[in-house]
Amino acid sequence: MTRVLATSVFVALLVALPWWFAHSAQSGPWLPPRASSFAGEVDGLFDAILVALATAFVLVMVLLVVALWRGAARVERARTTHGDLRLELAWTLVPAAVLAWIAVAQGPTWRAMKGDAALMARAPLARVEAAQFDWRFRHPGPDGLLDTSDDLLETHELVVPAGEPIVLATRTRDVIHSFYVPDFRLKQDLVPGRDGRIWFEAVGLGRHDLVCAELCGWGHYKMAGSIRVVQRDEYEAHLARLAARWNANGTEERP
Ligand SMILES: [Cu+2]
């Protein structure tokens, strides 16, 4: 009876979890919509690793059920065994091969996201400046240079044009933060003393959550911002409005 009950539990898990894995990978109850040019590649790697894990899970469940029935069928003294070279080689080499495959398979995506030196050398659209506990964005003004008197600053929300590679400089003004836009599948630590670069190409229009993915202090939870993707002409208009507001020195009319 116990055996039947235990087998039912294993079989239920065996059916339910791979179904849920497959279902999740497609409809995405755990993954947000894809909104960057490389999001599909990142999800492809995620799904591939999920399939490898699901395969291992099914294998373990089947072995458990087999052991349960075989063990229960015989009544004999348990044997103590020591060492099995073939088994040990198998459980060392198979996971090693899987890990090596993951390391090779993720290479092109990693290079596309982090390794394009020519792209990263472009003038940044803005600099992300993280601080406890907000996001600030510094645009180079008309002179095209950061850290000059005509810089334009905005907080919480960065507006970017759609359909073109956006390079951002990154900096933290205090502790470690992590720039994370789930819809873009983009996450980058910002480390004190180390300015960096990130890039993405937003697909489609709309607003995407920007969160801090590094526990950075008591107010970490409220370190939320957004990236708003607009058409190029709307972006130019936004920058012009930002410049007008910035240069008005507080004398402009507030809506
Ligand atoms: Cu944080």
Calculate how far, in angstroms, residue 102's C-alpha sits from the geometric centre of ligand 1: 29
pLDDT of amino acid 255: 47
Calculate how far, in angstroms, residue 133's C-alpha sits from the geometric centre of ligand 1: 7
Q: Does residue 126 sit in the same domain as residue 110? A: no
Q: Does residue 196 sit in the same domain as residue 232? A: yes
* Any domain includes 255: no
pLDDT tens figures, 144-192 = 888 888 889 999 999 999 999 999 999 999 999 999 999 999 999 999 9
pLDDT tens figures, 19-63 = 777 776 566 567 888 999 999 999 999 888 888 888 888 888 888
> pTM for this structure?
0.81
Task: Give mean pLDDT, residues 70-98.
Answer: 85
Q: Does residue 46 sit in the same domain as residue 133? A: no
Calculate how far, in angstroms, residue 130's C-alpha sits from the geometric centre of ligand 1: 9
Q: Does residue 153 sit in the same domain as residue 193? A: yes
CATH, residue 193: 2.60.40.420
* Any domain includes 142: yes
Residue 111 burial by CB count (10 A; 0-12/13-18/19+): exposed, middle or buried? exposed
H or E element that contains 105: helix 85-105
Calculate how far, in angstroms, residue 211's C-alpha sits from the geometric centre of ligand 1: 8
| Structural domains in the chain (count) | 2
Q: Does residue 235 sit in the same domain as residue 219? A: yes
Residue 39: Cβ within 10 Å count: 23
* Any domain includes 186: yes
Calculate how far, in angstroms, residue 129's C-alpha sits from the geometric centre of ligand 1: 12
* Any domain includes 68: yes
Calculate how far, in angstroms, residue 223's C-alpha sits from the geometric centre of ligand 1: 6
Q: Does residue 202 sit in the same domain as residue 132? A: yes
* Any domain includes 254: no
Calculate how far, in angstroms, residue 222's C-alpha sits from the geometric centre of ligand 1: 8
**Contact between residue 135 and residue 225 where contact means Cβ atoms under 8 Å apart:** yes
Q: Does residue 100 sit in the same domain as residue 26? A: yes
Calculate how far, in angstroms, residue 241's C-alpha sits from the geometric centre of ligand 1: 30
Give the residue numbers spanning the domain of 186.
122-247
Q: Is the dihedral of CA 205, 206, 207, 209 positive or negative?
A: negative
Q: Does residue 127 sit in the same domain as residue 31? A: no
* Any domain includes 82: no
Calculate how far, in angstroms, residue 147's C-alpha sits from the geometric centre of ligand 1: 24
**Contact between residue 37 and residue 112 where contact means Cβ atoms under 8 Å apart:** no
* Any domain includes 152: yes
Q: Does residue 158 sit in the same domain as residue 59? A: no
Q: Does residue 163 sit in the same domain as residue 206? A: yes
Q: Does residue 128 sit in the same domain as residue 238? A: yes
Calculate how far, in angstroms, residue 193's C-alpha sits from the geometric centre of ligand 1: 17
Calculate how far, in angstroms, residue 178's C-alpha sits from the geometric centre of ligand 1: 7
pLDDT of amino acid 98: 92
Percent of the chain topping pLDDT 90 = 53
Query: Picking from 72-81, 117-126, 217-226, which range would have the lowest pLDDT averaged per residue?
Result: 72-81
**Contact between residue 180 and residue 210 where contact means Cβ atoms under 8 Å apart:** yes
Q: Which two tokens stand for residue 133?
A: 């506990």
Taking ligand 1, which is a single-atom ion, which protein residues have CB atoms under 5 Å away? Answer: 212, 216, 220, 223
Q: Does residue 232 sit in the same domain as residue 166? A: yes
**Contact between residue 239 and residue 152 where contact means Cβ atoms under 8 Å apart:** yes
Here the contacts of 81-87 (C-beta below 8 Å, separation 24 or greater) are: none
